[in-house]
Amino acid sequence: MKRLNRNQGEHIYNKNEEPRIGVYVCHCGLNIGGSVDCEAVAKYASKLLGVVHTEHQLYTCSEPGQEKIKQDIVEHKLNRIVVAACSPRMHEPTFRSCIKAAGLNQYLMEMANIREHCSWVHLHEKPEATEKAEDLVGMAVARARLLSPQEEIEIPVLRSALVIGGGVAGIQAALDLADSGYGVIIVEKEPSIGGRMAQIDKTFPTMDCSICILAPKMAELGRHPKIKLMTLTEVTGINGYVGRFSVTVKHKARYVKDDCSSCHECVEVCPQHAPNEFDIGLATRKAIYLPFAQAVPSTYLIDMDLCLNKNGVRVCEKCVDACERKCIDFNDTDSEEAFEVGTIIVASGVDVFDASEIPQYLYKKAPNVITSLEFERMINAGGPTHGRLIRPSDHETPKSVAFIQCIGSRSSKTNPYCSNVCCMNTIKDSLLIKEHWPDTEIKVFYIDIRAFGKGFEDLFQRAKLSGVRFIRGLPGEIVQLKNGNLKLLGEMTLMNELYDIETELVILSIGIKPAAGSSDLRKYLSLSITGGGFFMVAHPKLKPVDTSIRGVFLAGCAEGPKDIKESVTQASAAASRANIIMHRGSVAVEAITARVKEENCTGCGACVRVCPYQAIYLNDEKKAVVVDAACMGCGTCGAECMYEAITMRHFTDEQILAQIDAFSEHGPEKKILAFNCNWCSYAGADFAGVSRMQYPPEVRIIRTMCSGRVSTRFIEHAFSRGVAIVLISGCHIGDCHYINANTFTEKRYNHMRKIMKQGGLDIDRLHLVWISASEGQRFQEKVEELKRKLMSVPSIEIRKGIRYFKERKEKSKKLIPKTREPAHVRDT
Amino acid sequence: MSGTPELFNRKDFYRCLQCAICTGSCPAARVIEGFNPREYILKYILYGEQEELLKSDMIWCCTTCQICQERCPHGIDISGFLIHIMNLAAERGNLPEEILKEIRLIAETGRSIKPTAHTVRIREELGLKALEQPDTEEIRNILREAGLKGMLDQK
């Protein structure tokens, strides 16, 4: 195949030029071709208005596939391209750059999603899937006819990053970015960085001392000239977008100035005691304390809930007197700070499962039942027992120990996922006990041992060789005996035998769950979450550290349970991804922002009121003006404007109405029209496709950036064309990617139902559902529900709707000034 | 498979991890060798409803105390499953002799324990009113509806 020269065939868009559309139907191997007759779809497309060339290819995204498009653009003078293939969330950038290379503006391309939304969800209904694919292509062609070229603007990116969380992932990401020369602010809510890794004694599978390998990194971060470390600090708000995020944080008062030399004199004299959080309450600390020896910063802090000096009343000044450097400052107060950064790395980490949620294992009831994290502190030389393993009841070293696995994990009642680290952690812990006290009898009660990583299987074998007994089958219950010993009652499944085993100490191998503060972060950043509450990545295979928000990346356990090595790997990857954006210094913003048709604008200010970004204002002549850099393109203003004075570039009213027209050309009374927002619901429907969740083929989806774009005009138009059921779908309230634009969706939906009620129509023909990017099943269930509804909509009801909304349209025409341009080629 | 209502959700069974907490918690398994709810679930997942299980005397050892499902990490309705199996077995007449005796007693007298001369005397002494004869025809109808038709009429 002849390769195209980049500049060859460059042609400039001419407004009066008739559309010459090329349609490319992709088989995607058998992914689409298996359940859609692609040849028939291509044939169908060739008859559509404006289509001058069609192809059906095995893989359109392949190099030859793309070359063919480029050649055809030149050869057939194509000026619009429709690719019927996978989700635009997957390959829109590919085909945009493809047509751009052939000299066409990249916005003159439209995709019909016949894979995720069609072939994959109707695997066993070939005729219906083919018919649906034809509809989707018809809708895409209708829209393509009205596409116009757009120019993207570049916005500058600040060369600084925020890292949220000071565990090993956050530390690694901050160091990588700072070493690359960017300014980094790292925020940690605890008094010291270090996270979970600082609490652990040894690491698997190499048995390295955890704090020994972490402390140098902590210290390096503490003194790095490019890093600003904020401990006892929490993020309280994030606004803005890639390149310029505005962040506000709250610093909790430390009451000790950073002149502190960690001399310990203050601690000696402080009279107040409390359980030490770092040792999970196994030891005590004073009201003035350092969380642990290697803490960074090594500045002490005062726990004001414990200190005797409250609300400015001084009753004790022992620490003040003891401090030679005069670092103690009782006048210190909480403070707030705001700053701007270009990129954000979320490394908010995990909390551990609370074992007392499983009552039959007696945690917090029997003293000799402890958790794996408590064990880590005990076996650690710097811990409360200086490395001696003891039974809490009598401080004796136990001669027998039982580990119980999967505490809180793999259960629909607690954490539904596997916590990933507990198996290897237990194996490591059992070896540590054997190393110090070889005669200890150790039994591990498990369901499955997951030793999947490099070197893990070897460690498992080592544990077995050293005498650790692995018993398949968790105890049903634990009984505490008078001498403090514990009796485990259960079944060994591999022997079909019941057991009744007495042991001196039980260690519950607790799972991990998302950090408590992560739900706030999720709101500030509009991030999606997956089943277990962990943050969702943009693509599970190919974008494993990106989020769906540009410029925001994930590292460590915030994304899902993982061990130290994986956390560090991901942190470096996230830093590298952030580096790409910051190194370039600018990012292109999609040309989808709002434009005002001044001649239509009446200056009513409705758009100003609904804009989530205050990106619209009224000028002195009472005309709306859009601030391009602030507009994110949600389209809520366009939906709100009664006078059609706002054009949403690339998602114009005309384009969407044309899609509805194409949809309703064939049997609209038997179909469901869905509007899905790009970020949550469209992605949710994609997820249903990727997971092959089968649902009725009657539904066709129109993509808008936000559900707030869905104007009542679209819904009225659909019903006036005889569409049976309309579904609007967006992100959950509070999760909207455009702050609160979906609250206007809800208002319009309620308003629309009122209008329908006034017309005596069945209001149940209009539905609204919130579907997040991970809720494919919810979409599937909704479509199934609507299919049942569809069967019960009588034709008299449809006709009534057509009549009612046509009348309304006639009436409303009088409202709108007559300046509206007719769409230049409008298929009716 | 039959007209008896299912008291459990089949889909749930595929969540079973074979963690053995059910059998480990089961008071019946502790005293009766061979009674093993975990194994019943496994066999059900692998082979479906089996004749072998419907004929087994063992299933009647379940006391439906429900501790198994209370502790099951996925809340699988194990008691509901065993009751379902017992219902199917009863429908086919696979009832242990002891239980059959009990059913017949209820069908004939309307009571699970026959009043003896002793109990009648005690009631008199305590001034309680004399026991009435329950409507055995109605009780028989209820038992028939409950799927024990064959059992009652075969005699």
For A592-620, what is the mean pLDDT?
A: 92
Chain A residues touching B75 at Cβ < 8 A? 412-413
Residue among B17, B20, B39 whose CB faces A490 most closely: B20
What average pLDDT does this structure show over A22-40? 96
Residue A824 located in a structural domain: yes
Residues B16 and B81 in one domain: yes
Q: What is the pLDDT of residue A200?
A: 96
Based on the domain organization, do B117 and B80 belong to the same domain?
no
Chain-wide mean pLDDT for chain A? 93
Residue from A487, A493, A495 to probe the interface with B (highest B Cβ count within 10 Å): A493
Q: Which residue of A has its CA nearest to B32?
A: A498
Q: Which of A282, A327, A291, A287 is nearest to A218 (CA)?
A: A291
Same domain as B44, residue B78: yes
Residue B3, in any domain of the structure: no
Q: Is B61 inside any structural domain?
A: yes
**Token duo for residue A611:** 């804009």
A413 touches chain B (CB under 8 A): yes
Looking at the domain assignment, is residue B5 inside a domain?
no
Q: Cβ distance B68 to B79 under 8 Å?
A: yes
3 state DSSP class of A192: coil
Q: Supply the pLDDT for residue A765.
A: 96
Task: Please tell me whether residues B124 and B81 are part of one structural domain.
Answer: no
Q: In this structure, is the dihedral angle defined by the CA atoms of residues A681, A682, A683 and A685, taken in order, positive or negative?
A: positive
Per-residue pLDDT tens over the stretch A378-434: 999 999 999 999 999 999 999 999 999 999 999 999 999 999 999 999 999 999 999
Residues of B in contact with A414 (CB under 8 A): 73
- At residue B154, the pLDDT reads 59
Q: Facing residues of A704 across strands? A: A677
A210 and A185 share a domain? yes
Chain A residue with the nearest C-alpha to that of B38? A493
Contact between A412 and B17 using a beta-carbon 8 Å cutoff: no
Give the span between the Cα atoms of B130 and B123, in whole angstroms. Answer: 7
The secondary structure of chain A in percent helix, strand, coil, rounded to multiples of 5, reads 35, 25, 45
DSSP state of A12: -
Predicted pLDDT of residue B54: 85
Instruction: Answer yes or no: is A746 within a domain.
Output: yes
B138: closest CA of chain A, how far (Å): 42
Residue that terminates a domain, selected from B51, B72, B91: B91
- Of all residues in chain B, the one with the smallest CA distance to A405 is B19
pLDDT in tens, chain B (155 residues): 345 666 677 788 899 999 999 999 999 999 999 899 999 999 888 888 778 888 888 889 999 999 999 999 999 999 989 988 888 888 888 888 888 888 888 988 888 888 889 989 999 999 998 888 888 889 988 888 877 777 776 54
Q: Which residues pair with A81 in a beta bridge?
A: A22, A109
What CATH number does residue A367 fall under?
A: 3.50.50.60
Q: Same domain, yes or no, for A636 and A696?
A: no
Of A406, A447, A477, the CB nearest to B25: A477
**A 332-361 residues with CB < 8 A to B:** 360
Indicate whether A439 belongs to any domain.
yes
Residue A819 in this model has a pLDDT that exceeds 60: no
Interchain pair A475, B24: CB under 8 A: yes
> Is residue A438 pLDDT above 90, yes or no?
yes
Same domain, A551 and A597: no
Q: Say whether pLDDT at A823 is over 50.
A: no
How are beta strands A21-26 and A51-57 bridged, if at all?
parallel
Q: Measured between alpha carbons, how far is A449 from B3 in angstroms, rounded to an integer?
A: 42
Distance CA A796, CA A761 (A): 10
Question: What are the backbone angles phi and psi of residue A172, rounded to the nearest 5°?
Answer: -60, -45
Q: Please spell the DSSP secondary structure of A482-533, one letter per residue.
A: TTS-EEEEEEETTTTEEEEEEESEEEEEE-EEE-TTHHHHHHHHT--B-TTS
Look at residue A775 and tell me whether its pLDDT is greater than 70. Answer: yes
In this prediction, residue A826 has a pLDDT band, given cuts at 50, 70 and 90, of: very low
Q: At what angle do helices A126-145 and A38-46 cross, to 10 degrees?
A: 30
Is A476–B39 a contact, with Cβ atoms under 8 angstroms apart? no
Burial A186-205 (b: 16+ CB within 10 A, else e): bbbbbbbbbbbbbbbbbbbb
- Cβ–Cβ gap A489/B25 under 8 Å: yes
Q: Are residues B64 and B111 in the same domain?
A: no
Whether residues B147 and B111 fall in one domain: yes
A386 with A531, same domain: the answer is no
Give A355's contacts in chain B (Cβ within 8 Å). none
CB–CB of B71 and A476 under 8 A?
yes
> Rounded to a whole number, what is the distance in Å from the CA of A771 to chain B's nearest CA?
24
Residue A55 lies in a domain: yes
CA distance A409 to chain B (A): 9
Answer whether B18 sits within 8 Å of A411, measured CB to CB.
Answer: no
* Cα–Cα distance for residue pair A546/A609, rounded to 1 Å: 33
Asked if A414 lies within 8 A of B73 by C-beta distance, the reply is yes
The candidate with the shortest Cα–Cα distance to A35, out of A140, A168, A125, is A125
Residue A815 pLDDT = 63
Number of domains composing chain B: 2
Alpha carbons within 13 A on the beta-carbon side of B55: 3
pLDDT of A821 over the 50 cut: no
CA distance A79 to A87: 22
Same domain, B19 and B83: yes
Domain final position from A609, A629, A648: A648
SS3 A470: strand
Type of residue at B132: E
Chain B nearest-CA residue for A492: B20
pLDDT in tens, A101-151: 999 999 999 999 999 999 999 999 999 999 999 999 999 999 999 999 999
pLDDT band, residue A232 (cuts 50/70/90): very high
Distance of alpha carbon A425 from alpha carbon A779, whole angstroms: 39
Q: What is the pLDDT of residues A679-692, one digit of tens each?
A: 999 999 999 999 99
Say if residue B117 is in the same domain as residue B136.
yes
Q: Where is A336: in which H helix or E strand?
A: strand A335-341
pLDDT the model gives residue A2: 38
State how far the Cα of A284 lies from the Cα of A267, in Å rounded to an integer.
12
Q: What's the pLDDT at A52?
A: 96
What single string gives the DSSP state of each residue in A548-603? SSTTEEE-GGGSS---HHHHHHHHHHHHHHHHHHHHH-EEEEPS--EEE-TTT---
Q: Which residues contact B132 (CB under 8 A, 6 or more apart)?
A: none
CA distance B71 to chain A (A): 8
| Closest-CA residue to A330 (of A273, A287, A274, A292) | A287
Is residue A447 a part of any domain in this protein? yes
Q: Is the pLDDT of residue A801 over 90?
A: yes
| Per-residue pLDDT reduced to its tens digit, A497-507 | 999 999 999 99
Of A447, A492, A498, the CB nearest to B19: A447
Q: What are the chain A neighbours of B29 within 8 Å (beta carbons)?
A: 491, 498
Domain boundary among B91, B107, B135: B91
Compute the distance between CA of residue A337 and CA of residue A496 in angstroms, rounded to an integer. 62
Q: Is a pLDDT exceeding 70 seen at residue A87?
A: yes
The full DSSP string for B22-77 is HHHH-HHHHHSTT--HHHHHHHHHHH-S-HHHHH-SGGGG-----HHHHH-TT---
CB contact under 8 A, B75 and A412: yes
- The verdict on A274 and A371 lying in the same domain is no
Assess whether B46 and B71 both reside in one domain.
yes
Cα–Cα dist B26/A494, whole Å:
18
Pick from A406, A414, A490: CB nearest B24? A490
Residue A687: phi and psi, rounded to 5, are -65, -40
Asked if B45 and B14 count as a contact pair (C-beta separation under 8 A), the reply is yes
A670 and A792 housed in the same domain: yes
pLDDT at A10: 42
Q: Does one domain contain both A369 and A410?
A: yes
CATH label of the domain that carries residue A774: 3.40.50
Among chain A residues, the shortest Cα distance to B12 is held by A412
Local structure of A675: helix, strand or coil: strand
Give residue-wise pLDDT tens across range A279-330.
Answer: 999 999 999 999 999 999 999 999 999 999 987 788 999 999 999 999 999 9
Cβ distance of A413 and B73 shorter than 8 Å: yes
Interface test with A, best of B12, B18, B19 (most A CBs within 10 A): B19
CA A143 to chain centre: 30
Mean pLDDT, to the nearest integer, of A546-557?
A: 93
Q: Assess if residue B1 is contained within a domain.
A: no
Map tokens 């030679």 to a residue. Answer: A324
Q: For tokens 């501790």, name the residue.
A: B67
pLDDT of residue A534: 95
One domain, residues A389 and A460: yes
Residue A597 counted as domain residue? yes
Q: State residue A556's pLDDT score.
A: 97
Q: Which residues of B touch A408 (CB under 8 A)?
A: none
* Residue found by looking up tokens 């455009």 in the block: A738
Tokens of B52: 């072998």
* B22 in a structural domain: yes
- DSSP string across B96-136: -HHHHHHHHHHHHHS-SSPPPHHHHHHHHHHTPPPPPPP-H
Nearest CA in chain B to A477: B25
Mutate to test the interface with B, among A445, A446, A491 (most CBs of B within 10 A): A491
Domain range for A611: 593-648
Contacts of A497 in chain B (CB under 8 A): none
In a domain, B85, yes or no: yes
Task: Answer whether residue A510 shows pLDDT above 70.
Answer: yes
> Are the C-beta atoms of A693 and A780 separated by less than 8 Å?
yes
- Relative to beta strand A766-770, strand A725-730 is parallel
Give the DSSP letter of residue A703: E
Residues A241-254: what's their mean pLDDT?
A: 95
- Shortest alpha-carbon distance between residue A533 and chain B (Å): 18
Q: How many CB atoms lie within 10 A of CB B9?
A: 13
Q: Specify the number of domains making up chain A.
A: 6
Domain that holds residue B125: 97-154
Which residue type, as a one-letter code, is found at position B130? A
Residue that terminates a domain, selected from B55, B70, B91: B91
Residue A324 CB coordination number (10 Å): 10
To the nearest whole angstrom, how far is the Cα of A505 from the nearest Cα of chain B? 19
d(CA A582, CA A597): 36
Q: What are B's interface residues with A at a Cβ cutoff of 8 A?
A: 15, 17-26, 29-30, 36, 38-39, 67, 71, 73-75
Q: Are residues B103 and B31 in the same domain?
A: no
Average pLDDT over residues A555-581: 97
Checking DSSP bridges between strand A400-407 and strand A505-510, what pairing results, if any? parallel
Query: Three-state DSSP class for A135?
Result: helix
Is A344:A525 a contact under the CB 8 Å cutoff? yes
Predicted local confidence at residue A627, as pLDDT: 86
Please give the radius of gyration of chain A, using alpha carbons only, rounded to the nearest integer. Answer: 31
On whether both B106 and B56 belong to a single domain, the answer is no
Name which of A761, A677, A772 is nearest A718 in CA terms: A761
pLDDT of residue B100: 86
Q: Which of A411, A472, A492 has its CB closest to that of B73?
A: A411
A133 plus A165 within the same structural domain: no
Q: Which residue of B has its CA nearest to A359?
A: B71
pLDDT of A225 higher than 80 = yes
The answer as to whether A449 is a domain residue is: yes
- Regarding whether A211 and A168 lie in a shared domain, the answer is yes
Query: Could you tell me which of A446, A445, A436, A443 has the C-alpha nearest to residue A390?
Result: A436
* Same domain? A302 vs A323: yes
Three-class secondary structure of residue A429 per DSSP: helix
| Residue A720 covered by a domain | yes
Chain B contact for A496 (CB, 8 A cutoff)? yes
Token representation of residue A195: 């996270």
| Cβ(A421)–Cβ(A406) below 8 Å | no
Whether residue B109 sits in one domain with residue B139: yes
Nearest to A399 by CA among A502, A488, A509, A282: A502
A474 and B36 within 8 Å at the Cβ level: the answer is no
Query: Percent of chain A, pLDDT > 90?
Result: 87
Could A489 and B29 be called an inter-chain contact, meaning their C-beta atoms sit closer than 8 Å?
Answer: no
C-alpha–C-alpha distance, residues A545 and B31, integer Å: 54
**Mean per-residue pLDDT, A638-662:** 95
Q: Give the number of other Cβ atoms within 10 Å of residue A522's Cβ.
A: 20
Q: What percentage of residues in chain A have a pLDDT greater than 70?
A: 96
Binary contact (A412, B74; C-beta < 8 A): yes
CA–CA min distance A413, chain B (Å):
6
Q: Write the burial class of residue A206 (CB in 10 Å: 0-12 exposed, 13-18 middle, 19+ buried).
A: exposed
ipTM: 0.84
Q: Is the dihedral of CA A29, A31, A32, A38 positive or negative?
A: positive
Is there a domain that residue B138 lies in? yes
Judging contacts by C-beta atoms under 8 Å, the chain A residues touching residue B21 are: 474-476, 490
Q: Is the pLDDT of residue A825 over 90?
A: no
Q: How much is the pLDDT for A16?
A: 65
Give the CA-trace dihedral at A45, A50, A55, A58, to 10 degrees.
-70
Do residues A666 and A796 both lie within one domain? yes
